[in-house]
Amino acid sequence: MGKPNEMPQPTNNVSQIGAGTKITGDIECAGDLRIDGAIEGKLNVRGKMVIGNGGRLNGEANCRNADISGSLEGKINVQELLSLKATSSLKGDIVTKRLSIEPGSVFTGTCTMGERDQEPRA
């Protein structure tokens, strides 16, 4: 087994936070995570994070991919693709490689996009 604060190896598991559930605190997820309830805290998701229509996140999220249909207030760092669906509301900062925003989505904040760890251009 790894060190106490070491993230577990990625898995194909999907964890769910159901509607009517509220969690306050930090969450480490080795697979995918679907949020239909409310979370206040910091999320580290090795796979894909999905915030459903009724889902809410107030805090910070780090993940590989994300689909947001609900609301997020805070900061999100996505290694690959962030998709903001038509019903989504995001207030905060985005750092991502690629971004998709459907008409109807509401985004207020800053966005930094593109490849990471690139060589400086001459």
**Which residues make Cβ contacts (< 8 Å) with residue 117, sequence separation at least 6?**
none
pLDDT tens per residue across span 40-87: 999 999 999 999 999 999 999 999 999 999 999 999 999 999 999 999
pLDDT of residue 121: 42
Rounded to whole angstroms, how far apart are CA atoms 36 and 80? 22
Average pLDDT, the chain: 89
pLDDT of 9 strictly over 90? no
